[in-house]
Each structure stands twice: as structure tokens, then as C-alpha cells.
Structure 1
Amino acid sequence: MKATIWHNPACGTSRKTLAILNESGADVTVIEYLGQPYTREKLEQLLRDSGMTAKDALRTRGTDAEERGLIEADDETVLEAMLQDPSYVNRPFVETEKGVRFCRPQDKVREIL
């Protein structure tokens, strides 16, 4: 099975999710999204396929999202902020042929393995 993870190696949940993927024997593609940001099309697709809105996936911890008013902003404004600065996207997202999951907690990844 092929799997793609949008990964931040500094994030414990992301590292644990990647470990589950590796242990499963999946052929894993790792995208370190802070260095290789999302395209609008891909981020919209991941959100849609995981049943989330941009606001649902907004990372507030360790960012200035609250100070920038992103918590109260509309989804389009949040999406634009995420595209300009991918640190606003909470993580990790994983995609396989069985679907997309926002893997918080990391065991959510097992639903698509």
C-alpha cells in the first residue's frame, strides 16, 4: 500500500504516525510541508477528503493565529493564511487509497491502512 504523510519532524504526533506507517509496511512518501508547502488544490482536497474545514485544521499552539484573528476568521481567510505560512496547518495528514485522515491522535492512521 502507498501512503503519503504531510510531516513535521519536530512534532511528536507526526513522528509517531510516521512510525505506524513504517511498521505497517506501507510504501511511504514523506512530504515535509514546512519546506515543501501545500498547493491550494492539494490542501483543499485533503481538507475535503478528511471532512474538515480550514478552521478545523488551524494550528493555534505555537503560532500567532489568535493574534492575527484567524480563530474568528472565515475559512477562505484561514486557507489563505495556511498557504502563505504552512505552520498554520495542524498535522499530520495522511493519504492512502483508502482515504485521508487527520491523524490526531496518531492511531487514526490505522483507519486507512
Structure 2
Amino acid sequence: MDVTIYHNPMCGTSRNTLAIIRHAGIEPTVVDYLQTPPSRETLERLIAAAGLSVREAVREKGTPYGELGLGDLSLSDEQLIDAMIAHPILINRPFVVSPKGTRLCRPSEAVLDILPNTFTSAFAKEDGEKVLDAEGRRVV
């Protein structure tokens, strides 16, 4: 299965999402979007395919969101995309693309919706939170 993750290795949610993908037996294409930011067209496509508004795709925590005045609700989608292109840290993460769809995987287990259901063993996040039980079933 061809899977791409727009990854920030410093982000726990992104690391957990990548680990879940690999637990599924898939070695994804990993795009460190801070080092290799997506083009405007790619970013717009990711946001639309994930069914998000542009504002929902903007990350506030740990970014220059406040300093840039991005909380101003009168800003257009184009202005928000411009800010995300200029400051890739503003792109919420991780976005994952698979043949089954595109998701902003927050929380990380949202990636399960777009992966094949081939899990046969337990999986827990870095903090120990269980995501899959011993039979590979999603823990609710």
C-alpha cells in the first residue's frame, strides 16, 4: 500500500502515527514537511481531501500563530495558506495520504481509518496509551 505521511519528527502525535503505519507492515514515504514544505497546490489538496477548512489545518500551539495575527477571523483562506507556506510549522500534523483517503491524524489513531485492517498484535503509543489490543483490534 502506498502511504505518505507529512511528518514532524519532533511531534509525538506524528511519531505515534508513523509507528502505527509501520506496525501495519507499511513503510510509508516520509515527508519531513519542515525541511521539504509542500507546494501551495499540494497543501490545498491535502486540506480539501481531508475534509478540513483551511483554518482547521493551521496549527496554533508552538508556532508564530499569535505573533502573525492569524486568530483574526477576517483573514481569507489564501492569507492563511500564504502564512503556512511562509512558516511550515503552522501546518497541522501529521497529514497521511493512502489509497483509502487523506486524514489529519490528530489523534494518531485516526490513521487506522485509512489503513488496511491487517493488525494482529497490540500497539501502544509512546506514553503507553493502548491503541490496539493483543488481537490487533482497536481499543475504544
Bin the TM-score by the shorter chain. Answer: over 0.9
Alignment pair present for 1:13 and 2:13: yes
Q: Which runs of 5+ in 1 are unaligned?
A: none
CA RMSD of superposed structures (Å):
0.9
Aligned partner letter, 1:86: P
Larger radius of gyration: 2
Number of aligned residues:
113
Structure-2-length-normalised TM-score:
0.78
1:67, distance to aligned residue in structure 2 (A): 2.2
* CA distance in 1: counterparts of 2:2 and 2:25, whole angstroms: 9
Q: Identify the structure with bigger relative contact order (alpha carbons < 8 Å, sequence gap 6+).
A: 1
Aligned residue among 109, 116, 136 for 1:107:
109
Within the candidate set 82, 88, 92, 2:90 is matched to 88
* Higher helix fraction (1 or 2): 1
Identity in percent: 47
User: Match of 1:78?
Assistant: 80
Matched residues in 2 for 1:69 and 1:31: separation?
A: 28
Q: TM-score, normalised by structure 1?
A: 0.96
Unaligned regions of 5+ residues in structure 2, if any?
116-140
**Which residue identity does 2:47 align to in structure 1?**
L
The separation in 1 between residues aligned to 2:53 and 2:96, in whole angstroms, is 16
State the one-letter code of the partner of 2:52: M
Q: Which runs of 4+ in 1 moved over 3 A?
A: none
Q: Does 1:64 align with 2:64?
A: yes
